[in-house]
C-alpha cells in the first residue's frame, strides 16, 4: 500500500495561499455547526517522526475556537495507566458531544511502537486489533466522527529532516538518540504500519494516508479531509432526523408465550438458617479478605456488578461482601441517572472512568446494563441504541477480561409478591422510609416489561468471560452467602488462570522484552 504512494506531490505556494485561508475559515464554521448539532469529533494523527504532525495540529487549531477542542498528546503510559486496560486512557480523554479531540499519537501505539519495541506481547497487540475496531465502531455508532491521518514520508526524507533539525538552534532538542534508533528500524515500523492500515481502515473509521513530503500539500489534504468528514456527518444527522423511521416488526406467537424463561427456572424458596448463615458468612468473609491481598500481590483486578429488582437486597448484599475487606483495596460505585459530563459522552464513558486498576476491587451498585433495562423501558434511548448495546457491552467486558480482570455479575431476583411486602415494610419503618420513592412504585407497574428486559439482558450478555449469576433473593441470608461464595470462587479461578499463564510464559524460550 504505502510503496505505491507518489511522495513527490506538490502544491505551489501561490496556489496554497489562495486555498488554505478559505479552508481554515470553513473548518471554523464547521466547528460551530458540529457543536450546535452535538456531534463529537475525534482527529487522530499518526505517522513517521518528523512527518509534520505537530505542524498539522498547530495549523489546524490556529482558527478554531479554543473552547471547543482539546489537543491530546500521547506518550508512554504512566504507571497508573499501565494498571488498567490499554484503551482506558483513551476512553477517559474522549470529547463531549459537540467538542473535538485532536490526538497526537493514539491507541495505535499498541500495534506500532509497543509491538515493534517489544512492550506488548504478540497476544496483546494481536487482540488489540479487535478491541480497536470495536472501540471505533462504538463511537461512530454513537455519532462520533473519527478522522485518522497517517503522515507518510520516505526513510531518506526522514533522515534528511532529522539532520536539518539537529542543525537548527530551535529544533535540535527534538531529535533524540531514541529517534535515531527508531529510524534504523524504519523497515520494521513500515511492515507494522502496513498491517495496521490494512486491518483498521474501516467504512466507519477509514485511514487517510497523507503524502507528507510537501508541507503545503499535506496541510491542504488534512484540512480538506477533515472538512469533508464533518460536513458529511452534519448532512447524515440532518437526514436521520427526518421522521421516516419504521418500528421493528413483531409477530405474536401464542405458543411462545408459554415457554419458560431463564427467570422461571429460579427457585425462590431457597433459604438458609440463621445459624448456618453466621457460620458461612464468617468463613467466606475471612477467605475473601485473604483473596483481596492475593489480588493485590498478583495485580489482578476484580469487578463486581449488582443489578436486581428494586428492594432486591443489593445494599445489604454489598455490605456483607465488604464486611472484612481492607477499605484501601476496594471502591463502591453507586450508579444513578447520568448527569453533567456523563450525559454528554458515550454511555460507557462513565464506566470506563471507574474501572478498577490492577490489584483492586470495584463494586458497582447498578451498572452499564441500565442501557438495556431502565433506558430501554423508560424510553431514554432508541430501540436501535439498546439493541446495539448488547454487542457493545459484551465487547466492553471482553476488553476488561483480556486485561486479566475477573468479572462477576449478579441479578438479585425476587418475586413480585416479595417486592410488594418489602415496599410496604419500608413505608412503615422510619429508618427505611428513605429507600422507597414514587419512582419505585412506577417501576413496579411495569414489572412485566422489566422482566422481559431482564430475560433479554441475561440471555444476550452472559458470556464465558463475564457470566451472569442469578441470585435467589427472596431470602436475604441465602442471597448474601451465594453472592460471597460466587465471588470467592471466581477470584480463586482467576488466580489459578493467572498462575497457569505464568507457567506458560516461563516455559517459552523467548528473549526478555523491555517495558511493561
CB 470 within 8 A of CB 483: no
Q: What's the confidence (pLDDT) of residue 516?
A: 30
Q: What's the confidence (pLDDT) of residue 239?
A: 86
Q: Would you give the distance in Å from CA 119 to the centre of its chain? A: 22
Q: What's the confidence (pLDDT) of residue 440?
A: 84
CB 61 within 8 A of CB 71: yes
Question: Between helices 314-322 and 274-298, what is the axis angle to 10°?
Answer: 60
Homologous superfamily of domain range 2-237: P-loop containing nucleotide triphosphate hydrolases (3.40.50.300)
pTM of structure: 0.91
- In degrees and rounded to multiples of 5, residue 409 shows phi and psi of -125, 125
d(CA 45, CA 395): 25
- What is the number of alpha carbons within 13 Å of residue 48 lying toward its C-beta? 31
Could you name the CATH architecture of 274-502?
3-Layer(aba) Sandwich (3.40)
CA 301 to each of CA 74, 194, 329, 498, 501: distance values in angstroms, whole numbers, following the listed order: 24, 34, 10, 11, 16
> Could you tell me the sign of the dihedral formed by the alpha carbons of 272, 275, 278, 281, in that order?
negative
> Could you tell me the sign of the dihedral formed by the alpha carbons of 165, 166, 172, 174, in that order?
positive
Helix or strand (DSSP H, E) at 465 = none
Q: What is the DSSP letter of 154?
A: -
Q: What's the confidence (pLDDT) of residue 245?
A: 58
Q: What's the confidence (pLDDT) of residue 414?
A: 97
Same fold, 2-237 and 274-502: yes
What is the residue-level pLDDT of the chain in tens, covering all 516 positions? 788 889 999 999 999 999 999 999 999 999 999 999 999 999 999 999 999 999 999 999 998 999 999 999 999 999 999 999 999 999 999 999 999 999 999 999 999 999 999 999 999 999 999 999 999 999 999 999 999 999 999 999 999 999 999 999 898 999 999 999 999 999 999 999 999 999 999 999 999 999 999 999 999 999 999 999 999 999 999 988 776 556 676 677 776 666 789 999 999 999 999 999 999 999 999 999 999 999 999 999 999 999 999 999 999 999 999 999 999 999 999 999 999 999 999 999 999 999 999 999 999 999 999 999 999 999 999 999 999 999 999 999 999 999 999 999 999 999 999 999 999 998 888 777 888 888 889 889 999 999 999 999 999 999 999 999 999 999 999 999 999 999 999 999 999 999 888 776 665 544 443 333
**Quick one: CA torsion of 42, 45, 46, 49, rounded to 10 degrees?**
-160
Q: What's the confidence (pLDDT) of residue 251?
A: 73
- In degrees and rounded to multiples of 5, residue 86 shows phi and psi of -60, -25
CA 158 to each of CA 168, 180, 353, 485: distance values in angstroms, whole numbers, following the listed order: 15, 10, 38, 59
Domain ranges of the chain: 2-237, 274-502
Amino acid at each position: 500500500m504505502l510503496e505505491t504512494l507518489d511522495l513527490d506531490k506538490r502544491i505551489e505556494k501561490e496556489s496554497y495561499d489562495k486555498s488554505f485561508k478559505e479552508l481554515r475559515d470553513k473548518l471554523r464554521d464547521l466547528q460551530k455547526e458540529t457543536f450546535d448539532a452535538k456531534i463529537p469529533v475525534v482527529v487522530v494523527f499518526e505517522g513517521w517522526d518528523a512527518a509534520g504532525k505537530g505542524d498539522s495540529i498547530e495549523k489546524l487549531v490556529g482558527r478554531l475556537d479554543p473552547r471547543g477542542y482539546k489537543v491530546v498528546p500521547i506518550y508512554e503510559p504512566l504507571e497508573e495507566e499501565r494498571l488498567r486496560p490499554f484503551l482506558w486512557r483513551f476512553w477517559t480523554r474522549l470529547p463531549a458531544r459537540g467538542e473535538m479531540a485532536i490526538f497526537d499519537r493514539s491507541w495505535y501505539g499498541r500495534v506500532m511502537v509497543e509491538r515493534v519495541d517489544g512492550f506488548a506481547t504478540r497476544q496483546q497487540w494481536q487482540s488489540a486489533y479487535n478491541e480497536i475496531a470495536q472501540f471505533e465502531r462504538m463511537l461512530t455508532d454513537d455519532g462520533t466522527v473519527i478522522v485518522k491521518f497517517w503522515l507518510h514520508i520516505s526513510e531518506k526524507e526522514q533522515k534528511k529532516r532529522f539532520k536539518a533539525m539537529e542543525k537548527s538552534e530551535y529544533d535540535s532538542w527534538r531529535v533524540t538518540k531514541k529517534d535515531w534508533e527508531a529510524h534504523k528500524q524504519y523497515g520494521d515500523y513500515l511492515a507494522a504500519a502496513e498491517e495496521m492500515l490494512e486491518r483498521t481502515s474501516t467504512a466507519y473509521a477509514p485511514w487517510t494516508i497523507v503524502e507528507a513530503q510537501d508541507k503545503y500539500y499535506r496541510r491542504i489534504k488534512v484540512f480538506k479531509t477533515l472538512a469533508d468528514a464533518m460536513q458529511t456527518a452534519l448532512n447524515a444527522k440532518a437526514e436521520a432526523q427526518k421522521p421516516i423511521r419504521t418500528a421493528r416488526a413483531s409477530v405474536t406467537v401464542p405458543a411462545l408465550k408459554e415457554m419458560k424463561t431463564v427467570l422461571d427456572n429460579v427457585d425462590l424458596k431457597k433459604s438458609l438458617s440463621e445459624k448456618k448463615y453466621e457460620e458461612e458468612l464468617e468463613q467466606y468473609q475471612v477467605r475473601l479478605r485473604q483473596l483481596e491481598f492475593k489480588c493485590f500481590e498478583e495485580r489482578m483486578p476484580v469487578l463486581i456488578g449488582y443489578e436486581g429488582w428494586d428492594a432486591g437486597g443489593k445494599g445489604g448484599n454489598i455490605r456483607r461482601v465488604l464486611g472484612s475487606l481492607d477499605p484501601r483495596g476496594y471502591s463502591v460505585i453507586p450508579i444513578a441517572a447520568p448527569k453533567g459530563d456523563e450525559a454528554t459522552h458515550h454511555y460507557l464513558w462513565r464506566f470506563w472512568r471507574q474501572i478498577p486498576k490492577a490489584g483492586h476491587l470495584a463494586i458497582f451498585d447498578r451498572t452499564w446494563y441500565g442501557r438495556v433495562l431502565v433506558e430501554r423501558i423508560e424510553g431514554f434511548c432508541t430501540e436501535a441504541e439498546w439493541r446495539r448495546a448488547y454487542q457493545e457491552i459484551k465487547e466492553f467486558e471482553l476488553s476488561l477480561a483480556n486485561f486479566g480482570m475477573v468479572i462477576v455479575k449478579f441479578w438479585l431476583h425476587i418475586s413480585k409478591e416479595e417486592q410488594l411486602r418489602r415496599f410496604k415494610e419500608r413505608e412503615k419503618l422510619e429508618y427505611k422510609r428513605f429507600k422507597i420513592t414514587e419512582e419505585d412504585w412506577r417501576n413496579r407497574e411495569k414489572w412485566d416489561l422489566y422482566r422481559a428486559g431482564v430475560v433479554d439482558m441475561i440471555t444476550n450478555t452472559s458470556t464465558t468471560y463475564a457470566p451472569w449469576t442469578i441470585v435467589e433473593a427472596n431470602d436475604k441470608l441465602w442471597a448474601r452467602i451465594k453472592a460471597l461464595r460466587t465471588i470467592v470462587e471466581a477470584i480463586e479461578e482467576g488466580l489459578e488462570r493467572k498462575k497457569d499463564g505464568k507457567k506458560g510464559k516461563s516455559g517459552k524460550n523467548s528473549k526478555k522484552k523491555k517495558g511493561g
